[in-house]
């Protein structure tokens, strides 16, 4: 079946620094979504990317969908303590039946003040 890999699994970031987390799929995707889960909370939708090469920004967060629609990235600039949490990508393949999304393993972000 479809596999979605996220790297790194853990990210320790100094406050103020930038970092990037990556999401890679074994199949071509119709769209990809990103979610953030704060410690003790539940995943909350951040954004959806649909078009090849698409780039979307939300304040300090930049989301990119690869040209081949097999990978995506989330880049955070000037990390703040409020960025702590686990970031998940969720991918929908063209081959996927019904409305099934496959989640990556997540990148857990810890921020050092």
Partner 1 sequence: DVKVTQSSRYLVKRTGEKVFLECVQDMDHENMFWYRQDPGLGLRLIYFSYDVKMKEKGDIPEGYSVSREKKERFSLILESASTNQTSMYLCASRLQGANSGNTIYFGEGSWLTVV
Residues making contact with partner 1 (CB under 8 A): 1, 6, 9, 30-31, 33, 35, 41-45, 48, 50, 88, 90, 92, 97-106
- Residue 82, CA distances (Å) to 25, 36, 109, 111 in order: 28, 11, 10, 9
Q: How far is the CB of 21 from partner 1 (least distance, A)?
A: 13
Q: How far is the CB of 78 from partner 1 (least distance, A)?
A: 27
Residue whose CB is less far from partner 1, 40 or 113: 40
Q: How far is the CB of 72 from partner 1 (least distance, A)?
A: 14
Residue whose CB is less far from partner 1, 30 or 52: 30
**According to the 3-state scheme, what is the secondary structure of 59-102?**
CCEEEEECCCCCEEEEEECCCCHHHCEEEEEEEEECCCCCCCCE
């Amino acid at each position: 079946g479809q596999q979605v890999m996220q790297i790194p699994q853990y990210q320790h970031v100094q406050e103020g620094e930038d970092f990037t987390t990556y999401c890679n799929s074994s199949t071509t995707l119709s769209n990809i979504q990103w979610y953030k889960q704060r410690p003790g909370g539940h995943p909350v939708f951040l954004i959806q990317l649909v078009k090849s090469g698409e780039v979307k920004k939300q304040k300090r967060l930049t989301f990119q969908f690869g040209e081949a629609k097999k990978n995506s990235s989330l880049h955070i600039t000037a990390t703040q303590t409020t960025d702590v949490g686990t970031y998940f990508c969720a991918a929908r393949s063209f081959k996927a039946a019904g409305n099934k999304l496959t989640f990556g393993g997540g990148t857990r972000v810890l921020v050092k003040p």
